[in-house]
Amino acid sequence: KSRAGLTSKIHLAVDAHGLPVAFEITGGNVNDCTSAPELIAQLPSAEAIVADKGHDSERIREQIEAQGARAVIPRKRNSLKGNGDLDRGLYRYRHLVENAFARLKHYRAVAFRYDKLKRNYESMVAMACGFLWLPM
């Protein structure tokens, strides 16, 4: 259960090796575009930032380009602009994010939110992200 309803979302940013570098937790009813600017601001310098269609926004693209990175975000289906400028080779690296989510969900306290308070759940997610950094 979250403050916004019965769901919570983990917004996650990973590096080129699939290791978490930043995350944010919001209610399940929060649009991805609203939490992305804070998450992008936390990122270290990068050549490219890859995101899914949920982050398709001109504001996000401008923020990424202002940081000196290239935005690799496919456009939504109803967009007037096409995906002709999308680098599909770079977009394939998005699987690193999905794999990081899969590894995070191995931790039961992250997969099922038992904590009532957001700060407690954030601590559990941070601890799980720390475990992902350990060499195994």
Please check whether residue 2 lies inside any domain of the structure: no
pLDDT tens, residue by residue, 25-50: 998 888 888 888 898 888 888 888 88
For the segment 74-98, the average pLDDT, to the nearest whole number, is 84
Please check whether residue 81 lies inside any domain of the structure: yes
pLDDT tens, residue by residue, 7-26: 889 999 999 899 999 999 99
Higher pLDDT, 78 or 12: 12
Higher pLDDT, 76 or 14: 14
Residues 28/4, Cβ–Cβ less than 8 Å: yes
Question: In which domain, by residue range, is 124 found?
Answer: 8-131
The total number of structural domains in the chain stands at: 1
Amino acid at 10: I
What CATH number does the domain containing 75 carry? 3.30.420
Instruction: State the Cα angle at 67 between 64 and 73, rounded to 5°.
Output: 20
Please check whether residue 125 lies inside any domain of the structure: yes
